[in-house]
Amino acid sequence: MLSSGALSLAFLSLASVARTATVTYDWTATWVWASPDGYGRPVVGINNQWPCPKIEATVGDTVVINFTNNLGNQTSGLHFHGINQVQTPEMDGPSGVTQCPVPPGSTLTYKFVVDIGGTFWYHSHNMGQYPDGLRGVFIVHDPNDPYSGKYDEEVIMTVSDWYHNESLPLVRNMLQPSNTRFAPPIPDRLIVNEGAGLLVNFTKGKTYRFRVISFAALASFMIHFDSHDMNIIMNDAAYLKQEAAQQIRIAAAQRYDFLVEAKDGDSGNYPFLVAMDINRDWTNTDLGALVWPHNYTGYLVMDPSKPTDKLDVVSEFSPADDAHFKPHDGAAPYANYTSHIKLDFDFCTDANGIPRACFNNVTYIGQPVPTLYSAATTGDNNTNPIVYGQVNPFVVSYGEVVQIVVNNHDEATHPFHLHGHHFQVLDRPASGAGDWPGTDAGYAAEPPMRDTVTIMGKSHAVLRFKATNPGVWLFHCHIEWHVEMGLTATIIEAPEKLRDHTFPSDHLDACHKLKIPTEGNAAGNTVNVLDTSGYVTVNPTTYNGAMYTPPPNKRCKPQKG
């Protein structure tokens, strides 16, 4: 006889089968002319449109994106930021990591299950391409949302810096020996909802759930809603205990969900402010006077017949401290970590005098073979970091609790992102706190979970996650220009479970078209996977970004056998 527990389990799984669906998108990347701020330029759009379309699904759904690259002169690809890709690490999207770049004329299908709800985004993870426009909103609705019923309407707001030049010349200009100050490209403008802006129809008695997403390449944004609180309920698709904030700061790639209530006494129209923060560290005026060169004012509109011209002026920015938000489930820090990864971040210079960014004095250099392909094809040797080349690999075993400590030796703040996981933010001290002292003390009792955390200047952060998601996951600064400078490490998670991992034929075809090997170590050596010949140890002096050059017609290496 079945126990009642087994019965209810069987019932639950039936119910969830009935609920889930497959959501399919047929997308072709193309160049589109757009002028989101009044200045026309080519952008990377989808199906000849820009802004790019929204992905919308429900927890448990399978999302299928049939992605064709029709750019002609650039390779491409998509990453789904915040989606953990459980059991589908090959769908994560970064070029050279979990797939080859998608060459012009090729189609590649992404297929994965969305396991948690929240506010996400997708973007190209291919050689500095997303600031050229290839990014969009990704919403996963959650039938078990603890805040469902607490709001009436949803409002999506994307914030981004914007450049009039294309990424390729911008990065080329940055990666010059003359750039001894490691200066990134400075944005020309701030755009909200990709230039469309935001007027919210604000009705007395209603509560609005804002889903704010930063598409930025560099900048952060201070957000303030005049006389209305932002009641924060989620960050980076992780539920929080509700907390009122007057100001928030959102860094590149972060998301905030918050409730704004139209109060009984409200009348008229209310401005709200989005101020671009390109200060190196807004808490440190020793670096010079703070500057706020680009603002956007949106409005909560109660009465369209009344003017929307008032500005929301803030005399001093003092955003809520997101390291002290509390997770909705009240979970404590993961205990007894067995893996400790210490990452000292410094700017550095390579053998050609080109400015780079380093973890532990080593800059990330993409290798010929995507790292996940090496993990899948180097047998027992896939636990040996040597097989991956200079991708700053860190191997952790299945089930370990992993502690990552980042010591930021730069004076500026930097937002760090981990693929494949939410991590707990145990500690994120103020600017000037220096390196991690080497002891585990003073941590949050209920650490918030995020996928992207801002680390303050000359300070550090302590993060933890559970290694239960086999795959190859990048950990990097989400300032896209710093990714191109090499500010990336690679977590090789549970390689012992990746040995038989297989790849769809269209993913392999993308590699074959580009004559990129799909087996062996970082250089495609299959006979002796500890043979490091062919590894890339210095970047080419000319940066070509996503520019497509057809591969030479001969094999790069003589065939074995």
Q: Which residues of this protein are in contact with ligand NAG, per CB under 6 A? A: 26, 31, 42, 66, 68, 73-74, 107, 165-166, 168-170, 173, 201, 275, 292-293, 295, 304, 313-314, 335-336, 344, 360-361, 379-381, 528-530, 547
Least Å distance, CB 221 to ligand NAG, is 11
- Closer to ligand NAG at the Cβ: 139 or 237? 139
CB of 13 to ligand NAG, least distance (A): 28
Q: Which one-letter DSSP state was computed for residue 385?
A: G
Min separation Cβ 89 and ligand NAG, Å: 21
Dist. CA 483–CA 488, nearest whole Å:
6
Per the omega criterion (within 30 degrees of 0), is the bond before 51 cis? yes
Which ranges of 399-476 would DSSP assign to H, the alpha helix? none
Residue number, 40 or 442, with CB nearest to ligand NAG: 40
Question: Which residue type occupies 225?
Answer: F
Cβ closest to ligand NAG, residue 16 vs residue 48: 48
Phi, psi at 256, each rounded to 5°: -130, 135
Give the nearer residue to ligand NAG in terms of CB position, either 7 or 332.
332
Residue 254: CB minimum distance to ligand NAG, A: 20
514 vs 529, beta carbon nearer ligand NAG? 529
The number of residues making up the chain comes to: 561
Residue nearer to ligand NAG on the CB measure, 237 or 369: 369
Using the minimum distance from each CB to ligand NAG, give the nearer residue, 28 or 242.
28
CB of 166 to ligand NAG, least distance (A): 5
Order of strands across the sheet with 55-58? 55-58, 135-141, 118-123, 79-81
The CB-of-94 to ligand NAG minimum distance in angstroms stands at 19
Instruction: Give 58 or 526: the residue with its C-beta nearer to ligand NAG.
Output: 526
Instruction: Find the shortest distance in angstroms from Cβ 382 to ligand NAG.
Output: 9
The Cα–Cα gap between 196 and 113 comes to 31
Q: Is 362 exposed, middle or buried (0-12, 13-18, 19+ CB in 10 A)?
A: middle
**Nearest distance from C-beta of residue 213 to ligand NAG, angstroms:** 17
Whichever of 13 and 48 has its CB closer to ligand NAG, that residue is 48
CA distances from 30 to 49, 74, 80, 547 (A): 8, 10, 19, 14
Q: How far is the CB of 251 from ligand NAG (least distance, A)?
A: 18
**Which of 101-117 are b and which e, b meaning 16 or more Cβ less than 10 Å from the residue's Cβ?**
bbbbebbbebebbbebb
Beta-bridge mates of residue 276: 221
Q: Decide if 42 contacts 71 (C-beta within 8 A).
A: no
Cα dihedral value 127, 131, 133, 137, nearest 10: 100
Q: Compute the Cα dihedral for 337, 342, 343, 346 and give only its sign.
A: positive
From the CB of 425, what's the least distance to ligand NAG, in Å?
19
Please classify residue 279 by burial: count the beta carbons closer than 10 Å to its beta carbon, then call 0-12 exposed, 13-18 middle and 19+ buried: buried
Of 170 and 232, CB closest to ligand NAG: 170
The neighbour count for residue 16, using CB atoms within 10 Å, is: 12
Which of 135, 151, 150, 39 lies closest to 80, judged by CA? 135
Decide: 430 and 283 in contact? Cβ < 8 Å.
yes
Minimum gap (Å) between residue 68 Cβ and ligand NAG: 5
Residue type, 439: T
Helix (H) or strand (E) holding 481: helix 480-484
Task: Return the H-helix or E-strand segment holding 482.
Answer: helix 480-484
Shortest Å, Cβ 455 to ligand NAG: 17
The enclosing H or E element of 46 equals strand 41-46
Q: Which pairing describes strands 107-113 and 199-201: parallel, antiparallel, or unpaired?
A: unpaired
Whichever of 59 and 170 has its CB closer to ligand NAG, that residue is: 170
Q: Least CB distance from residue 192 to ligand NAG, whole Å?
A: 14
Return left, alpha or beta for 341; rule: phi > 0 is left, psi -120 to 50 is alpha, else beta.
Answer: beta
Element spanning 139, H or E: strand 135-141
Nearest to ligand NAG of 121, 347 (CB atom): 347
Max alpha carbon distance in the chain (Å)? 81
Question: Closest Cα to residue 367, out of 507, 522, 510?
Answer: 522
CB 2 → ligand NAG: shortest distance, Å? 32
Nearer to ligand NAG, 66 or 397 (CB): 66
Q: State which residue, 220 or 235, has the beta carbon closest to ligand NAG.
A: 220
